[in-house]
């Protein structure tokens, strides 16, 4: 009998019970509960209320364990994790802006190379518009 192929759960799939998460991280289950109470980790919950940890949660718990074992207090750990999250968010935003800038430059390049002396270029992108004089292109960014 052949069924569908097994697919490994993603990094955010909450699949580990607290005892397995404790074993994988080398932490006591009560420590995991304390970290949850302090807001350092937020495991998923079953319908019955049991905690379920994801691979990403396990990685975060290991990071917390490494930081605390090197002498950093819980508030220091909280601040480090907060700053890590901010850095990741800023890096993602930077990538978005870079992609937008690249697309705008490409569109501008296409608009400028497609221009003939007596004909304005056909502009298919809403972020580029030719001015009434036909001499310049105004590029702006739409609000979100």
Model confidence, pTM: 0.62
Burial of 80 (0-12, 13-18, 19+ CB in 10 A): middle
Q: What is the pLDDT of residues 61-107, one digit of tens each?
A: 999 999 999 999 999 999 999 999 999 999 999 999 999 999 999 99
Q: What is the CA radius of gyration of the chain?
A: 26
Across the chain, what does the average pLDDT equal? Answer: 83
| Phi (first) and psi of residue 9, to 5 degrees | -65, 150
Given this model, what pLDDT does residue 117 score?
Answer: 47
Asked if residues 57 and 18 have their Cβ atoms less than 8 Å apart, the reply is no
Distance CA 91, CA 125 (A): 26
Decide: residue 56, CB within 10 A, 0-12 exposed, 13-18 middle, 19+ buried.
middle
pLDDT band at 34 (very low <50, low <70, confident <90, very high): very high
For the cut 50, the answer to whether the pLDDT of residue 108 exceeds it is yes
8 A C-beta contact, residue 26 and residue 15: no
Q: What is the CATH code of the structural domain delimited by 11-70?
A: 1.10.1660.10
């Amino acid at each position: 009998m052949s069924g569908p192929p097994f697919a490994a759960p993603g990094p955010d799939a909450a699949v580990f019970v607290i005892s397995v998460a404790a074993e994988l991280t080398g932490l006591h289950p009560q420590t995991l509960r304390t970290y949850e109470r302090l807001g350092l980790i937020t495991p998923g919950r079953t319908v019955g209320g049991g905690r379920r940890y994801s691979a990403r949660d396990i990685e975060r718990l290991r990071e917390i364990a490494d930081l605390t074992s090197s002498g950093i207090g819980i508030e220091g750990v909280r601040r480090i994790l907060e700053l890590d999250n901010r850095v990741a968010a800023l890096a993602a935003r930077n990538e978005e802006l870079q992609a937008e800038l690249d697309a705008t430059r490409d569109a501008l390049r296409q608009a400028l190379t497609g221009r003939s002396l007596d004909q304005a270029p056909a502009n298919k992108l809403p972020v580029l518009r030719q001015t009434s004089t036909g001499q310049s292109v105004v590029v702006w960014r739409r609000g979100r």
